[in-house]
Amino acid sequence: LHNNNKLKNYIILDGCLLLSKYFTNNKIISIGLLSSKDIILPIFHNQFTTNYFYNAQALSITYLFSLANTSQQKFFKIIQPQYNNQRYYLLEILAHRNAKQRLIHTFLILMKLYGTISNKKFEINLNISYEILSSITGSNKNTISILIQKLIKREIIIYSKNKIIVNSIVDLIEF
């Protein structure tokens, strides 16, 4: 998403996007986890005074539909009942005091949005690295790595870059 596109809306037809704000001091804040049927409204207000930019990172194969503001009223009149602007804002994750609780909350949100049940286990088929998890949780990569290794050792999760399998939601919550 580029500021030359400030007059466009985007509708996510399928997939998952992590919307983040990158600051010039190298700080990153993840502000939204968007999925199918979410709408990204223009976010580029005054491009001359900003010390940040937005980044939309696909966590799975994602298809976007671009719509100029001039056409949006007609389009939304037809599509409105099917599409919503519901987003999972990631600020609620940051309300937790420690990184462990933030990581658990992140897994629960990902399970709700993208989890499928297979053999009594939740599978999250997204491309999520430790770096992305650290950005979402507001923790550093080493802390996330240590926590995930503990979850793996206790056989609560199976983790790979392209898939996370939660063996027991109860054990995850009690971790």
Query: Could you report how far apart the first and last alpha carbons of the chain are, in Å?
Result: 38
Contact 6, 48 (CB under 8 A): no
In sequence order, what are the beta bridge partners of 88? 33
Contact 128, 164 (CB under 8 A): yes
Asked whether residue 130 carries a pLDDT value surpassing 80, the answer given is yes
pTM above 0.95, yes or no: no
Give the list of residues 6+ apart from residue 5 with CB closer than 8 angstroms, or none: 42, 44, 66
Q: How confident is the model at residue 162 (pLDDT cuts 50, 70, 90)?
A: confident
Report in angstroms the alpha-carbon separations of 77 from 36, 50, 94, 125, 145.
19, 34, 36, 33, 46
Asked whether residue 86 carries a pLDDT value surpassing 60, the answer given is no
